[in-house]
Amino acid sequence: MAKDTTSPKQQLEQLFNELTKQHTEFTQPLIELPEHEFAKAGLIQGLVEGNLTPPVMLIALAEGHWEYAADTAKFDELATDHLLNDLDADQDWPVFAVVADGTNQRVLALFGADGSDGTHGVDELPSLEELRSFDRLERDPTFRWSMRIYTRLMHRFDAFHENVYRVTKDKVNDKNDIIEEVAKLLFLESFRIYHPDITFNDKFGNEHLFSSVFNWHFVQAEGDKAVDLIKDAFNQFKSHPDYVVTSDDGTRNAIFSEDTHLRLSVAKNYLDLLEALQNLGPLKSNDGKIVKEYGTLGDVSGDLLGRVFDVFLRANFESKGGLGVYLTPNPVKQAMLEIAINDIANDDAAIARLANGDFRFCDPTCGSFGFGSVALSQLVKLIDYQLVMADDKKETLKQQLRNHAFTGADAAPRMVMLARVNMALQGAPKAQIFYTDNSLTTQALKPNSFDLICTNPPFGTPKFDKGKNGQSSKANYEANMEQVLGGFRPAKKVVESYNAYYDHLKMKWDDTGDLYLNDDGTPKWAGYRTDLRKTGGNDKNPVYSLHPSTSGLALGSKPDGKGNWKQVGATIDPAVLFIDRCLQLLKPGGRLMIVLPDGILCNSGDRYVREYIMGKKDEQTGEFVGGKAIVKAVISLPSDCFKLSGTGAKTSILYLQKRHANPNQPEQFLPEPQTEVFMAVAETLGYVVKNNIEDYNAGVANDLDKIVSAYKRGE
């Protein structure tokens, strides 16, 4: 027999290469660690939806040194003192390690550079998807089960949608009708889970236990009879008081209107969807032990239910040419909220409000409330991991936030319904999400009310054809915009410029003209002039100047060359108005994350908007004076960000913090300095758009992942 002449170093190299080949799903370049006499190591990472997973350390041990894997104290010594001691400052610490010596192999969980969470053995290396949320594996005992149900639900929802759309049709007109029917059945599933003893009466007055009827076994056995009973149950439950919310103006809002009914009638469709929702198998802990014989959607991690709903919606919702419903890609939502929540976590005053249950979030153009869903998930994580209070108090606080902290509004009734169901799935059926004709003017949204607003408002003025109908639509649009800009008055413009404003010195409204008034004499909607005061001129040619206040508005006007603010025309980009409206709705010191077209941030014609936000620069002091907000960050997004929604508009994320108020004059701002602005460019978001879907398996990086990390590090 030939003698093995391979040197110990070569043997170690060979063993390490074999270990690396076992983990081909980690596609990022291997980072080699310093050489050691009896160990060779490196860091591997993978991509999940374009986001880098935390690193995993691979270690090959020379024969005779297995004690460094078996004894976690010796492992920590080897890893910290020898293998990881030269790790770059910007390189994340590995969270798991796979150690092998050619005979044995062990997986270790590390969880922290200081070892505070304790190195310990685990049964297997988590999947890439689980690694993205590795901390949850330790803190959520059934997280791995939730992840698997999440993946399964995504496939089953898509298959159901495709089958109804392509094959059975079943009384639906388009893809969006199918999404609506899925949402209705998810709504009913929440009753089965959270109201197990609830009953209903069928159309003949007979009483039934709902959990026995809304059950895939019952549908399988009874077919059309089951469908008829489920329709009766929906008609009774759709206005259930647990799902009716009261907005800030006192209006009560149910998820479904009285004339909404279940459309689907084919028993097979009910069977397919209910079986997908209910036949989840046993609930298992992360180590594979059965916790409960039959798991339900109520056992699935709430944020994962929000994600599966969002993925299903984005993959199938048809929004081109409709109401301008542009569903924001998940990487953008995650990045915006992660940056904002990071700053909130480091703001003592904001944390105190959160701990007291006084924190409020809003999206005034909410669509399916994707921003709110992500905000709920990240706030729950912040409470769990950073607030110092007893576990029972944390649970009470989280439910208090679900009941009272979330507000959304939208002009599309279908999206409001989807948003309500989305939050109900996550234990927040009382989220104050409501329909409004116009979020710019509704009195259900009050000034100085919210700690955080994240939104992707409509932008760009509509295009109208030159035909009779197109020109009629254009005239109606311009008349409605005149009302918004000048205040609610007769829709037809009767004077050249409406100049209503609130004089904060006289404490009264001036020049209200034909404004529609409330019973107390205040305007129903005063328009975008409330921060302007008449400071010169005469009645025929008044001169108005800007006097910023914490609850006022002015961007329905703009200054001329002499600094006289005059009302703009109906062709103004509504995104400009939404900047002002969102700043008005924020509490002093509150934060705004908003997606905007790049023109507002760089066009010379919109310079007044930028100066309105951050003030004009004093050339002597270098400070910005007179603005309403501090610009925290600007992050450029790729041009295909909203390709699925039929627009190639170049957009950016603008992050603002509303200036704090003067404690002695709460309507006035404190002169806070504008700090350095964080700026970054995202070239790719972790997916490519092809065949009308976002493909996250294309191996494209999510640049926002690195950008968020850089922001958190203060770079």
**In the numeric block, which tokens belong to residue 574?**
């509504």
Top-confidence range, 227-236, 502-511, 565-574: 227-236
Question: Are 125 and 165 contained in the same domain?
Answer: no
In a domain, 423, yes or no: no
Question: Are 194 and 280 contained in the same domain?
Answer: yes
Question: Are 113 and 168 contained in the same domain?
Answer: no
Do residues 637 and 684 lie in contact, with contact meaning Cβ atoms separated by under 8 Å? Answer: no
Question: Are 101 and 145 contained in the same domain?
Answer: no
Three-state SS string across 380-395, please?
HHHHHHHCCCCHHHHH
> What are the angstrom distances between the C-alpha of 208 and each of 124, 135, 197, 212, 275?
47, 44, 10, 8, 20
Confidence at residue 479, expressed as pLDDT on a 0 to 100 scale: 83
Q: Range with the lowest mean pLDDT among 303-307, 380-384, 457-461, 661-665?
A: 303-307
In a domain, 643, yes or no: no
What is d(CA 46, CA 43) in angstroms, rounded to the nearest whole number?
11
**In the numeric block, which tokens belong to residue 421?**
């169901």
Question: Are 126 and 154 contained in the same domain?
Answer: no
Averaged pLDDT for residues 331-352: 95
Side-by-side strand order, sheet with 361-363: 432-435, 406-410, 361-363, 450-455, 586-597, 651-658, 629-636, 678-681
pTM above threshold 0.75 = yes
Question: Are 133 and 174 contained in the same domain?
Answer: no
> What are the angstrom distances between the C-alpha of 120 and each of 69, 76, 142?
10, 10, 19
Q: Say if residue 23's pLDDT is above 90.
A: yes
Report residue 502's pLDDT band, with 50, 70 and 90 as the boundaries.
Answer: low
Q: Range with the lowest mean pLDDT among 77-81, 98-102, 135-139, 693-697?
A: 693-697
What is d(CA 577, CA 486) in angstroms, rounded to the nearest whole number?
12
In a domain, 626, yes or no: no
Question: Are 300 and 181 contained in the same domain?
Answer: yes
Question: Are 134 and 240 contained in the same domain?
Answer: no
Q: Say if residue 115's pLDDT is above 60.
A: no
Tens-digit pLDDT profile for residues 395-415: 999 999 999 999 999 998 989
Q: Say if residue 90's pLDDT is above 70.
A: no
Question: Are 300 and 280 contained in the same domain?
Answer: yes
What is d(CA 509, CA 502) in angstroms, rounded to the nearest whole number?
4
13-41 burial, b if ≥16 CB within 10 A, otherwise e? eebbeebbeeeeebeeeebebeebeebbb
In a domain, 237, yes or no: yes
Do residues 178 and 161 lie in contact, with contact meaning Cβ atoms separated by under 8 Å? Answer: yes
- Higher pLDDT pick, 514 / 665: 665
Confidence at residue 225, expressed as pLDDT on a 0 to 100 scale: 97
Do residues 456 and 493 lie in contact, with contact meaning Cβ atoms separated by under 8 Å? Answer: no
Confidence at residue 302, expressed as pLDDT on a 0 to 100 scale: 77
Mean pLDDT of the chain, nearest integer: 87
**In the numeric block, which tokens belong to residue 365?**
């153009």
Q: Range with the lowest mean pLDDT among 58-62, 321-325, 443-447?
A: 321-325
Question: Are 204 and 227 contained in the same domain?
Answer: yes
Report percent pLDDT > 70 for the chain.
93
Report residue 148's pLDDT band, with 50, 70 and 90 as the boundaries.
Answer: confident
How many domains is the chain built from?
Answer: 3
Helices (H), 586-665: 598-602, 607-614
Averaged pLDDT for residues 68-84: 82
- Higher pLDDT pick, 293 / 518: 293
- Higher pLDDT pick, 620 / 393: 393
Question: Are 164 and 271 contained in the same domain?
Answer: yes
Averaged pLDDT for residues 518-547: 85
Residues sharing a CB contact under 8 Å with residue 243, sequence separation 6 or more, in sequence order:
187, 254, 255, 420, 424, 429
Question: Are 225 and 312 contained in the same domain?
Answer: yes
Q: Which of 108, 138, 168 is the last residue of a domain?
A: 138
Averaged pLDDT for residues 657-678: 93
Confidence at residue 117, expressed as pLDDT on a 0 to 100 scale: 47
Q: CB-based burial of residue 240 (10 Å sphere; 0-12 exposed, 13-18 middle, 19+ buried)?
A: middle
Report residue 645's pLDDT band, with 50, 70 and 90 as the boundaries.
Answer: low
Tens-digit pLDDT profile for residues 188-246: 998 899 889 999 999 999 999 999 999 999 999 999 999 999 999 999 999 899 889 88
Q: Which of 138, 171, 206 is the last residue of a domain?
A: 138
Phi then psi for residue 41, to 5 deg, are -140, 160
Q: Which of 686, 688, 692 is nearest to 704 (CA)?
A: 686
Q: Say if residue 451's pLDDT is above 90.
A: yes
Residues sharing a CB contact under 8 Å with residue 423, sequence separation 6 or more, in sequence order:
369, 372, 373, 376, 402, 406, 429, 431, 433
Report residue 279's pLDDT band, with 50, 70 and 90 as the boundaries.
Answer: very high
Q: Range with the lowest mean pLDDT among 35-39, 370-374, 443-447, 537-541?
A: 537-541
Angle between helices 302-316 and 370-386 (to 10 degrees): 160
In a domain, 598, yes or no: no
In a domain, 355, yes or no: no
Q: Which of 613, 441, 612, 628 is nearest to 526 (CA)?
A: 441
Quote the distance between the C-alpha of residue 576 and its chain's center: 22
Three-state SS string across 107-152, please?
EEECCCCCCCCCCEEECCCCCHHHHHCHHHHHHCCCHHHHHHHHHH
Instruction: Give the domain range for residue 541.
Output: 461-572
Q: Say if residue 62's pLDDT is above 80.
A: yes
* 153 torsion bin: left (phi>0), alpha (psi -120 to 50), beta (else): alpha
165: enclosing H helix or E strand: none
Q: Say if residue 606's pLDDT is above 90.
A: yes
Report residue 176's pLDDT band, with 50, 70 and 90 as the boundaries.
Answer: confident
Q: Which amino acid is at 249?
A: D
Confidence at residue 691, expressed as pLDDT on a 0 to 100 scale: 65
Q: Which of 122, 138, 154 is the last residue of a domain?
A: 138
In a domain, 336, yes or no: no
What is d(CA 129, CA 154) in angstroms, rounded to the nearest whole number?
14
Confidence at residue 52, expressed as pLDDT on a 0 to 100 scale: 84
